[in-house]
Amino acid sequence: MKTVTIISAALTLAAHLSAQPTLKDAFKDDFLIGAALNPGQFTEANPSEGDLVKQQFSSITPENCLKWENVHPAPGKYNFYLPDRYVEFGVNNHMFIIGHTLIWHNQTPDWVFQDDQGKPLTRDALLARMHDHIATVVGRYRGRIQGWDVVNEAVNEDGTMRESKWRKIIGPDFILKAYQYAHEADPAAELYYNEYSLENPNKRAGAVRLITELQAQGVKITAIGLQGHYNLDWPSEDQLSDTIATFAHLGVKVNITELDINVLPSASQNMTADVSLKYRAAAKLNPYTNGLPATLQQALAARYATLFGVFMQHRHSMERVTFWGVTDGNSWLNDWPIPGRTNYPLLFDRAGQPKPAFAAVLAAAQAKP
Ligand code: GLA
């Protein structure tokens, strides 16, 4: 009797869980729902988070394993162990697989820009190195990684172009070359330009100039990625909506590629997602170590509802909304820009349980403006 009761309770629970809508199903007619994964998730060393990813998401992005410093740590040395596992996880689970990221100024070792004497490379030598990297990495996953963040974060806050080592050594056409090499390595792959804070008008104008120039040079950019590192009051609905509309007008899709919402007090007035920023820890900047107060939990849910309301309005211009992480516990926002804080930016809590924000996002899928 007891066993029967337990089994029937388990069956009821299983039926209940499988009847729960999932993110990927709720938005299946609108856009893909993605998450950035760490190795524990895609190697399934962390099976519960691996399962959560399979249950909820239709697209994946590698949080770090395809960044230059990890996949190509030394001259002539490529490290494909984790990227291979990542791609295999996506293929086995029929997910839309993103490559992130080919050309960036961060997480790219200094040697990339130097010869074997430590002197700056010439333009031609750096172009050859860029070509080798892109041909090798994109070529290896040709036909399996379906879309690539080719260039990440090339524009400054004021809309001018960032003086990265790529640009200093190669010149302004380093961006054009990167797209040409990526297209050559996998002509069928979607190619993206990925950037933060484009909701701010000056930076957006810079990115519009960049995309327009690339299009005039014959580059086919499939989509612009708005990283979507947001907080509770930035960007406004209008800023976000105008940003999506502006890029859609250029004939590119608009994806949200790194969505999260910082709920902690900000360490500076500086509205940015520059990963190199670091501030000193202070207790008043880390107020919720024992849990997020209910009012903030609701504010976060309401904020997610608002953002997804805007995405749904623009759903015909969008292909994907990707979260930067799966659970609060593995978000980069626990350590940026101040290390060791307790942040709550995502839809699943530290135990992998859905938060009120999860229900709010699902509800937004019902409205089809
Ligand atoms: C940027 C990069 C991502 C990641 C985030 C923070 O947005 O594009 O790869 O590093 O910063 O984790």
Chain segment 52-71, per-residue pLDDT in tens: 999 999 999 999 999 999 99
pTM: 0.93
Residue 64 vs residues 43, 257, 274, 305: alpha-carbon distances, Å: 14, 14, 15, 28
Question: Longest Cα pair distance anywhere in the chain, in angstroms?
Answer: 79
pLDDT at 141 over 90: yes
The active-site residue out of 63, 153, 190, 195 is 153
CA distance 11 to 5: 10
Q: What is the average per-residue pLDDT within 296-325? A: 98
Better pLDDT: 173 or 282: 173
Bridge partners, 155 (sequence order): 161
Q: What is the pLDDT of residue 15?
A: 47
CA distance 305 to 324: 17
Domains present along the chain, CATH in parentheses: 2-263+282-366 (3.20.20.80)
Ligand 1 pocket at CB < 6 A: 100, 152, 196, 227, 258, 273, 275, 332
> What average pLDDT is seen over the chain?
94
Q: What is the average per-residue pLDDT within 360-364? A: 98
Q: Retrieve residue 157's tokens.
A: 């806050």
Q: Which of 260, 324, 331 to probe ligand 1 with, by most ligand atoms within 8 A of CB? A: 324
Q: What is the pLDDT of residue 1?
A: 44
Q: What is the average per-residue pLDDT within 20-37? A: 97
CA nearest to 277, candidates 339, 197, 196, 345: 339
Q: What is the average per-residue pLDDT within 142-159? A: 98
Give percent of the chain with pLDDT exceeding 70: 93
Catalytic residue list contains 44: no
Catalytic residue list contains 195: no
Q: What is the pLDDT of residue 13?
A: 47
Q: Which of 70, 148, 256, 258 to probe ligand 1 with, by most ligand atoms within 8 A of CB? A: 258
Range with lowest mean pLDDT among 133-142, 199-208, 281-290: 281-290
pLDDT band at 314, cuts 50/70/90?
Answer: very high
Q: What is the pLDDT of residue 64?
A: 98
CA 266 to centroid of ligand 1, rounded, Å: 18
Please tell me whether residue 92 adopts helix, strand or coil conformation: helix
CA 275 to centroid of ligand 1, rounded, Å: 7
